[in-house]
Amino acid sequence: MTDWLFLGVAFLVGLALGGFYFEVLWRTVQRLPAHPKPELLMLKSLGLRLAVVLPGFYLIMSGRWERLVACIVGFFLMREIISRRVSKGIPRTAM
């Protein structure tokens, strides 16, 4: 029974990590046109996102591939949720 609990926690952590990663990415993309050095902004954003997400995956995994899979499923589910939310704010002619 505790395996299911750990998988559920891993899934929720994946949702949180995905929320962080893709929200920061979206906010970075929004700031790019006005930023004087957009390439530097993208590199800093990538560094921050990876510095949070990769250790998060490693810690939640605890040597068990099942937990990593649950975490990644949550991560990509959050990607889908955020993508749909963001695309609703973009006019259809721009897509």
User: Is 74 inside a domain boundary?
Assistant: yes
Global pTM reads: 0.86
Joined tokens for residue 49: 């996102």
Q: Looking at residue 88, what is its pLDDT?
A: 81
User: Is 94 inside a domain boundary?
Assistant: no
> How many domains would you assign to the chain?
1
Joined tokens for residue 82: 């955020």
Domain that holds residue 45: 15-87
Q: Looking at residue 91, what is its pLDDT?
A: 63
User: Is 31 inside a domain boundary?
Assistant: yes
User: Is 73 inside a domain boundary?
Assistant: yes
What are the mean pLDDT values of the chain's consecutive 10-residue runs (95 residues total)?
Answer: 87 97 94 94 97 96 93 96 84 54
User: Is 4 inside a domain boundary?
Assistant: no
Joined tokens for residue 87: 């695309």
Q: Looking at residue 26, what is its pLDDT?
A: 92
Q: Looking at residue 61, what is its pLDDT?
A: 92
